[in-house]
């Protein structure tokens, strides 16, 4: 099987509710693949099934060519961090990794390389409890690298981080992929995944919405014109000027968003002037990954006011 992660009809039911509902996955080797969906979409449940931690209710799945019912066949080649790193606070980062290497039967000589890869070699001998959240996340990823994995599974590695910490983790994931590791990273922060991921798997309510190259999804999106009138009372009329010419328009956050090519901006500006509307902003922008998600799911179409998905769904 060519895919690093693959599944057919994968289902997990809890209390009569399908948390994962018929997933057919195909994640290729050598990519950073973003596993996208709002909180509660079934991402963590899927990752737990792929790691053999819980059994599927229905369906089959394979990791590195081995069925997940035989985790001993693939786990030695998989690194994972699910729901944050679990470390001993009083021990240093290095000592924590040494303990995990012994318990996991990993080569302890890998510790130095793992610390270097995540950029923590210079702070490795300080107590884990003294680290910032971003540093703790990096030590957790270092622990996941101890098996010298072919596949790295990470669950919300930027959760709770400030913007600087998010950028650090983003850069780290790219470096790891450049070493040949396939990275499968779950997140609800679409703006971050758009920057780092070559491949995407999108789910909502446990169901597959999209999977494939990030560039393929973004290429489907059409440009959008943002027009902001000086007087908010002009919003309905401004929108109608676009829709009367066959271009869908919605009002969001004090602006009219028009699904139209950039060449329509000049015409809209002239029409606005003729109707006594003064524009304080007029710009053509390419839709982003969040717009693509909303377009695919039919949720919050045209509303780009928030980045976390759960805030808009």
DSSP 212: E
d(CA 269, CA 94): 61
299 pLDDT band, cuts 50/70/90, is: low
Beta strands, E only, 24-146: 26-27, 32-36, 58-63, 66-67, 78-81
Q: Is the pLDDT of residue 310 over 50?
A: no
223 and 205 inside one domain:
no
Residue 7's pLDDT is 97
d(CA 107, CA 101): 7
168 and 294 inside one domain:
no
22 and 93 inside one domain:
yes
146 and 278 inside one domain:
no
301 pLDDT band, cuts 50/70/90, is: very low
Q: Which residue in 131, 133, 134 sits closest to 95, CA to CA?
A: 131
Residue 307's pLDDT is 32
- Are 129 and 85 spatial neighbours (Cβ–Cβ below 8 Å)? no
- Are 250 and 287 spatial neighbours (Cβ–Cβ below 8 Å)? no
Residue 306's pLDDT is 32
Q: Are β-strands 5-14 and 58-63 bridged in parallel, bridged antiparallel, or unpaired?
A: antiparallel
Q: Which of 3-7, 59-63, 176-180 has the lowest mean pLDDT?
A: 176-180
- Total of domains in the chain: 2
235 and 304 inside one domain:
yes
- Are 191 and 288 spatial neighbours (Cβ–Cβ below 8 Å)? yes
292 pLDDT band, cuts 50/70/90, is: confident
Last residue of a domain, one of 189, 211, 233: 211
Q: Which residue in 198, 155, 145, 207 sits closest to 176, CA to CA?
A: 145
- Are 31 and 212 spatial neighbours (Cβ–Cβ below 8 Å)? no
Kindly report the CA angle at 19 between 74 and 294, in degrees rounded to 5?
Answer: 105
* pLDDT above 70 coverage of the chain, percent: 92
d(CA 145, CA 191): 26
Which tens digit of pLDDT belongs to each residue from 217-269? Answer: 877 766 789 999 999 999 999 999 999 999 999 898 899 989 888 889 999 99
Q: Is the pLDDT of residue 281 over 80?
A: yes
226 and 201 inside one domain:
no
Residue 82's pLDDT is 87
166 pLDDT band, cuts 50/70/90, is: confident
189 and 230 inside one domain:
no
179 and 287 inside one domain:
no
Owner of token pair 């450049």: 178
Q: What is the CATH number for 51?
A: 3.40.50.300
28 and 123 inside one domain:
yes
When pLDDT is averaged across residues 175-204 and rounded to a whole number, the result is 88
109 and 13 inside one domain:
yes
d(CA 300, CA 181): 35
What is the average pLDDT score of the chain? 87
User: Domain range spanning residue 181?
Assistant: 5-211
Last residue of a domain, one of 154, 187, 211: 211
Q: What is the pTM of this model?
A: 0.77
d(CA 280, CA 258): 16
198 and 238 inside one domain:
no
15 and 106 inside one domain:
yes
d(CA 169, CA 166): 5
Q: What is the CATH number for 241?
A: 3.30.70.790
Which tens digit of pLDDT belongs to each residue from 124-145? Answer: 999 999 999 889 999 999 999 9
When pLDDT is averaged across residues 161-189 and rounded to a whole number, the result is 88
Residue 309's pLDDT is 31
């Amino acid at each position: 099987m060519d895919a690093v992660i693959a599944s057919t009809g994968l289902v997990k039911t809890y209390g009569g509710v399908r948390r994962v509902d018929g997933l057919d996955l195909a994640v290729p080797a050598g990519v950073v693949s973003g596993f996208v969906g709002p909180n509660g979409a079934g991402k963590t449940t899927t990752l737990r099934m792929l790691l053999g931690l819980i059994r599927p209710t229905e369906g089959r799945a394979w990791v590195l060519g081995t069925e997940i019912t035989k985790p001993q066949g693939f786990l030695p080649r998989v690194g994972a961090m699910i729901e944050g790193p679990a470390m001993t606070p009083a021990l240093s980062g290095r000592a924590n990794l040494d303990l995990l290497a012994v318990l996991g039967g990993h080569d302890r000589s890998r510790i130095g390389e793992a610390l270097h890869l995540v950029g923590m070699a210079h702070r490795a001998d300080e107590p884990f409890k003294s680290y910032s959240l971003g540093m703790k996340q990096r030590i957790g990823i270092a622990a996941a690298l101890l098996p010298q994995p072919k596949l790295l599974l990470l669950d919300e590695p930027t959760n709770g981080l400030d913007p600087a910490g998010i950028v650090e983790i983003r850069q780290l994931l790219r470096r790891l992929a450049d070493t040949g590791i396939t990275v499968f990273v779950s997140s609800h922060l679409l703006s971050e995944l758009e920057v780092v991921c070559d491949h995407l798997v999108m789910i909502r309510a446990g169901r597959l919405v999209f999977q494939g190259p990030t560039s393929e999804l973004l290429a489907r999106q059409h440009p959008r014109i943002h027009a902001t009138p000086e007087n908010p009372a002009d919003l309905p009329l401004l929108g109608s000027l676009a829709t009367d010419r066959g271009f869908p328009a919605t009002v969001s956050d004090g602006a009219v968003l028009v699904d139209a090519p950039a060449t329509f901006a000049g015409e809209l500006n002239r029409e606005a002037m003729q109707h006594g509307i003064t524009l304080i902003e007029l710009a053509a922008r390419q839709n982003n990954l969040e717009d693509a998600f909303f377009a695919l799911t039919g949720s919050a179409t045209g509303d780009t006011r928030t980045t976390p998905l759960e805030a808009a769904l």
